Amino acid sequence: MSIVYIVSAPSGSGKSTLVNELFKMVRHLDFSISYTTRPPRGSEQNGKEYFFVSREEFEAMIAADEFLEHAEVFGNYYGTACRFLREAEARGNDLLLDIDVQGARQIKEEKIPDAVSIFILPPDREKLEWRLRNRGLDSEAVIRRRLDTARREIENYSKYDYILVNNLLEQSADELKDIVLAVRLLRSGAEPSGEEKRRVESAQACRLEQARERVQPILASFNPQAVKGT
Ligand code: ADP
Ligand code: 5GP
């Protein structure tokens, strides 16, 4: 059975960057290429970052029950095709889904309860805003909308198994790798050896229960009013 990893994050937190780094370091892990009705951005290519389809094509796939989950994000459809999981299983690989909080909920609650969910957070609101601007992909209006959505999305952090605060890129990429490999190891039933013990401890430190305190100042930076009121 393949292990399914779900990674979610408010836009601009560095999820794509971290996932790219992860794939350089971990083998036997497939990336589920989602279908979307949004147009390609920048240098995106059909079949690489996404499969870009029309609303009609997407709705035909929903009707044919071809999606493991699907959701509407920023006014466009996004969905994970069932075939990616079948293909990963046939290859003996694990599968990583880069999906939003609605998709993560559908997978964990309805389809694959033992999927491993990881929520990536920016260090604070100011750094998220800086990263969105510095990325240079979005208009001012889109940046404002992404920041507003981030404030709401972040409140869902406690539904995830692991929390990763993307402060220093190299360290965060290592932590993501530690989570993926530690879960693999623990599920295999093997006893962790020297380096593997360190990895299991590093992953453990990202467990939701361990991360709650670290998350509070980040939440406060997005919603100072709520904190003043508590
Ligand atoms: P997402 O996929 O979450 O929308 P990206 O991976 O596109 O975010 O990252 C947003 C921007 O932030 C990019 O310009 C990226 O190079 C930068 N970035 C990612 N991680 C870090 C980090 N740890 N420190 C500083 N900048 C980062
Ligand atoms: P973007 O348009 O910036 O690439 O992605 C917008 C959001 O859609 C991100 O939060 C991303 O994780 C999410 N997303 C991408 N693919 C899927 C998918 O297949 N299903 C769901 N539910 N969300 C997705």
Whole-number pLDDT of residue 229? 42
Domain 4-32+94-228 in CATH: superfamily?
A: P-loop containing nucleotide triphosphate hydrolases (3.40.50.300)
Is the pLDDT score of 10 beyond 50? Answer: yes
Ligand 2, from 15, 67, 78, 108: best to mutate by most atoms within 8 Å of Cβ?
78
Query: Using H for helix, E for strand and C for coil, what is the string for the chain?
Result: CCCEEEEECCCCCCHHHHHHHHHHHCCCEEECCEEECCCCCCCCCECCCEEECCHHHHHHHHHCCCEEEEEEECCEEEEEEHHHHHHHHHHCCEEEEECCHHHHHHHHHHHCCCCEEEEEECCCHHHHHHHHHHHCCCCHHHHHHHHHHHHHHHHHHHHCCEEEECCCHHHHHHHHHHHHHHHHHHHHCCCCCHHHHHHHHHHHHCEHHHHHHHHHHHHHHHCHHHHHHC
Is the pLDDT score of 77 beyond 90? Answer: yes
| pLDDT > 90 in the chain, percent | 89
Whole-number pLDDT of residue 226? 61
Query: Does the C-beta of 73 come closer than 6 Å to ligand 2?
Result: yes
Whole-number pLDDT of residue 47? 97
Query: Does the C-beta of 6 come closer than 6 Å to ligand 2?
Result: no
| pLDDT > 70 in the chain, percent | 98
Mean pLDDT in residue range 67-95: 96
What integer best gives the mean pLDDT of the chain? 94
Mean pLDDT in residue range 145-162: 93
pTM for the model: 0.95
pLDDT digits (tens, 9 = 90+) for 161-204: 999 999 999 999 999 999 999 999 999 999 999 999 999 999 99
